[in-house]
Chains A and B, each alone.
Chain A
Amino acid sequence: MIDQETIGLLLKGVNGVTWQSVVMICVSFVLFYLAIVKDYEPLLLLPIGAGCLLANLPLSPLMDEHGMLRVLYEVGVENELYPLLIFVGIGALTDFGPLLENPKFVLLGAAGQFGIFLTLLLALMLGFTKNQAASIGIIGAIDGPTSIYVSGILAPDMLGPISVAAYSYMSLVPIIMPPVIYALTTKEERAIRMAYSQRKISRRTRIMFPIIVTVMVGTLVPFATPLIGMLMLGNLMKESGAVERLTKASSNEIANMVTLFLGLAIGSTMGGEKFLQTQTLYILILGLLAFGIDCAAGVFFAKILNWITGGKVNPIIGAAGISAFPMAARVCQRLAQQENFDNFLLMHAMGANAAGQVASVVAGGVVLALMGAG
């Protein structure tokens, strides 16, 4: 009654198991562990882990032509919709007030993008193509949506490892930043107290800020328009106070839903055959280097500002010129407080951190412009 063919059909799944899929299933377990136990970016690493697991189960129907994971990928990752929608939510959650109080900190954000280009050079040395090197470099923006957006355009085949690297390192800010800061600053520098300006930021200025940034960046770097436009749209909605429901929806329901879809879609790109290559290891190492270089460049630049201003800038805040908002600023505050418990640097660091957000988007647009893509 049960012939060989029936047994073959019953065991189709077991027969479809490959060593790559087993390894990738283990990788998904690691992602689950990081998200659930270690609490590293759980909102994204958990769905990525789930997508990775589901895509690597043998003969997964979810990855068929009309499978859910494939559809999610085509709907939002292939055409860059998800990262842009997430940017609306980020804009609605970000307060650019500390940056407006100290506009000169915009330059700290620019310094925090050095890692992008130095990593690009390193990737070229390792034999990656120009597009691949630029995509790996963009991990140095320390900005998940920007990394996904740029690498989705320049090197879609490397989207999985780049996204995992970008989000993993973002969550490792409290671990990666302190050694870099300690290595590059003295105890006296870390103890520098910075005065706060008494400038009052009017509501009109807060509303004008996103409009000015969009028009300026959009005109000068059209490739950055989608990124900066969506980020600033979210911020305009927040600051105007006119569309409270939309602001709440963007920063909660829409952002949560898109994060789930994005995580699953990214995870589904982590197929064993594609992911388990030497280049994945290179991407992860280069991403880590990019992060370190960003922090170091930021601290160096803040040291220069400190020298120019005659000792009025604490170099720690330079490390906050990356996009990991607001974690980077919090780490800076903690380090400053370790030297002097009364030192309250948080709002200065938040200013540099907000600048890092804008700068990473600008840098993403510049990379796309220089690569002639978009």
Chain B
Amino acid sequence: MENLNWGLQMTVLGMGLVFSLLALLWLLLTVVLKLDKEPVEEETKAAPAQETAAAAEGAAAPADDAVPAQAPERPMVNGLPADLVAAILVATHKHRQTMRRQAAPLVRAVWPGSQMFASRWLATGRARQTNNWQPRGR
């Protein structure tokens, strides 16, 4: 019986303490979250970046300007819309590939390190050896 009384006291005290401590934590977290709200200035600072982005986008695709302002916010990368950056990246890669194909023999159209052909260094060496202006055997 004595043990049971002790157990009941433990239960009341224990749960009381656990609840009080966590309620205090709730209070502290609420205060911290209130104090550490994102400042409004940051949003206004972000505006020029958005304007620049809008201008760039406008130059790339004038038809997009017709889209009203209530369109959902688009993800940005370094001040430019993410889809625009992705389009620029794809165009750059395509351009580089085209340039490589036009400017170089077949072996150079394949990326360095590819197993399909020998390395560029080796291929160039072989080509030089084959097409050397010096007479063979010298």
**A-to-B contact residues, CB < 8 Å:** 100, 103-104, 106-107, 109-110, 113-114, 116-118, 120-121, 124-125, 130, 133-134, 199-202, 204-205, 208-209, 212-213, 216-217, 220-221, 355, 358-359, 362-363, 366-367, 369-370
Contact = CB atoms under 8 A, between A and B. Distances in A.
B11 A121 contact: yes
A212 B22 CA distance: 12
Given A120-B11, A202-B38, 14 more contacts: A110-B15, A110-B19, A113-B18, A118-B11, A121-B4, A199-B33, A205-B33, A208-B36, A209-B32, A212-B25, A212-B32, A216-B24, A363-B18, A369-B17
Interface string B1-32: 00110111011011101110111111011101
Interface of B: 3-4, 6-8, 10-11, 13-15, 17-19, 21-26, 28-30, 32-33, 36, 38
B32 to A, nearest CB: 6
Contacts, number: 98
A94 B11 CA distance: 29
A124 B4 contact: yes
B29 to A, nearest CB: 4
Contacts of B22: 106-107, 109-110, 355, 358-359, 362
B75 to A, nearest CB: 15
A110 B7 contact: no
Nearest to A363: B18
Nearest to A224: B21
A114 B22 CA distance: 14
Contacts of B19: 107, 110
A366 B14 contact: yes
A369 B21 CA distance: 14
A301 to B, nearest CB: 10
Contacts of B6: 124, 130
B100 to A, nearest CB: 37
19 contacts: A104-B26, A110-B19, A118-B11, A120-B10, A121-B8, A124-B6, A133-B3, A202-B38, A204-B36, A209-B29, A212-B25, A212-B29, A212-B32, A216-B21, A220-B24, A221-B21, A366-B14, A366-B17, A367-B14
Most chain A beta carbons < 10 A, residue from B25, B26, B28: B25
B121 to A, nearest CB: 36
A213 to B, nearest CB: 7
Most chain A beta carbons < 10 A, residue from B13, B22, B30, B32: B22
Contacts of B26: 103-104, 106-107
Most chain B beta carbons < 10 A, residue from A109, A124, A133, A216: A124
Contacts of B18: 110, 113, 359, 362-363, 366
